[in-house]
Amino acid sequence: MSRVFVALGVSVDGYVAGPNRGPKNPLGDRGPSLHEWAFKQQSFLRHLSLPGDGETGDNDRVCASIFDRIGANIMGKRMFDEGEANWPANAPFNNHVFVVTKEKRASWERPGGTVFHFVNEPIERVLERARDAAGNKDVRISGGRDIVRQYLNAGLVDELLLSVTPVIMGEGLRLLEGVDRQKVALAIEETIATPQVTHVRYRVKRA
Amino acid sequence: MSRVFVALGVSVDGYVAGPNRGPKNPLGDRGPSLHEWAFKQQSFLRHLSLPGDGETGDNDRVCASIFDRIGANIMGKRMFDEGEANWPANAPFNNHVFVVTKEKRASWERPGGTVFHFVNEPIERVLERARDAAGNKDVRISGGRDIVRQYLNAGLVDELLLSVTPVIMGEGLRLLEGVDRQKVALAIEETIATPQVTHVRYRVKRA
């Protein structure tokens, strides 16, 4: 059965976004610094049809393995709103993206195979839809922080991959704030250490 | 020249202590869970003259290397107060410990070679004393969170070793809260990954 996973870049102090987020400032002040490592990887550049060769080391293997396994994405409305204004025409998803929102809107197909579906349903039902779309591949809860928290607290996430960069963010959105430790427990499954980033893959269990 | 380092166990969400800390509850609720890995290591048990063989893998090597390099410790008053009631007679330091406090108190020698000195001086001057006591060995800023933050923000720390356990703490003291990102920058120097803990050694630089 396909797995449900979260893969996020976080600062050393646990933030996934900086302060003052919005469509004109995606990820907030200094937030993009959390993903600088990813932007340099070959698999990332190819996935977005961007120019440049990119790096091909361990960070690229992490990046590529994320893209390879995604069969469908689930995303919060705010992440979509922040992204919509800033993603290239070829949005970096290449498959079905279920946007959890109260807004009614027809599905929106982008070049490269990304199709956004706007769904106003309980997160359990949204996950069922994503599983159906994903087939044998995995479902990524893409973000933002709030929807990740909802899925974690509902016990619906199998795996949490944190790519920790040595950035001190200091303010913004902390990934695990509000995650219920009485419901959610983590165990290290794999660590891929590079000089730039520490990738830790946690298995998520019911506490 | 000897280095000034911090080595702390932290939760995956960045806490070094849980809520409700005090002499009767050192490290706060669930705080000791951050150090469970260490309590099992051979070097830790031997250092404290505790019974048992302990583990001898990578976690033990990290633990042993911390003990080996310490020439002197610096500690805040609250950490001392929490520890005093709970450390075994053979307090786990085995050398000079400078406790930053307004309290006047004569030096206090413990079995095993630990000597606590109570100093009411600026942190820069306390560090000079600790360097003198350490000789060629390193100075550890032992904790708690507040004194670590003071030394980090003063640009006096060379190295930060975080041993991250897959615990979600949720509340308590966050290590890097209040650390000034405009003054302090980190770079990964080494990562030692084990199935229980992710040890990341950061070089600390002026931002």
CA atoms within 13 A on the CB side of B117: 16
Give the closest-approach CA distance of B170 to chain A in angstroms: 6
CATH of domain A4-206: 3.40.430.10
For residue A195, give the nearest of B14, B170, B188 by CB distance. B188
Over residues A61-96, the pLDDT tens digits come to: 999 999 999 999 999 999 998 888 777 776 777 789
Domain ranges of chain B: 4-206
| pLDDT for the residue B36 | 95
Instruction: Enumerate residues 147 to 176 of chain A having a beta carbon within 8 A of any beta carbon in chain B.
Output: 162, 164, 166-170, 174-176
Confidence at B48, pLDDT banded by 50, 70, 90:
confident
How many Cβ pairs within 8 Å bridge chains A and B?
86
Over residues A5-40, the pLDDT tens digits come to: 999 999 999 999 999 988 889 899 999 999 999 999
Q: Which whole number is the average pLDDT over B42-62?
A: 93
Over residues B127-185, the pLDDT tens digits come to: 999 999 999 999 999 999 999 999 999 999 999 999 999 999 999 999 999 999 999 99
Confidence at B31, pLDDT banded by 50, 70, 90:
very high
Residue B49 pLDDT > 90: no
Distance CA A97, CA A148 (A): 15
Over residues B78-92, the pLDDT tens digits come to: 999 888 877 777 677
Interface probe with A: pick from B6, B58, B168, most Cβ of A within 10 Å? B168
Cβ-based contacts of B169 with chain A (< 8 Å): 181
Using an 8 Å Cβ cutoff, are A16 and A9 in contact?
yes
| pLDDT for the residue A63 | 96
Phi, psi of B115 (to 5 degrees): -125, 120
* Location of structure tokens 């907030």: A28
Distance CA B109, CA B140 (A): 19
| pLDDT for the residue A146 | 96
Interface probe with A: pick from B62, B153, B188, B206, most Cβ of A within 10 Å? B188
| pLDDT for the residue A59 | 98
| pLDDT for the residue B68 | 94
Residue B62 pLDDT > 90: yes
Distance CA B206, CA B181 (A): 9
Using an 8 Å Cβ cutoff, are A49 and A89 in contact?
no
ipTM exceeds 0.90, yes or no: yes
Q: Note the Cα B40 to chain centre separation in Å.
A: 17
Distance CA B43, CA A163 (A): 31
Over residues A148-196, the pLDDT tens digits come to: 999 999 999 999 999 999 999 999 999 999 999 999 999 999 999 999 9
Order across the sheet with B4-11: list the strands: B108-109, B115-119, B96-100, B70-76, B138-143, B4-11, B159-165, B198-206, B184-193
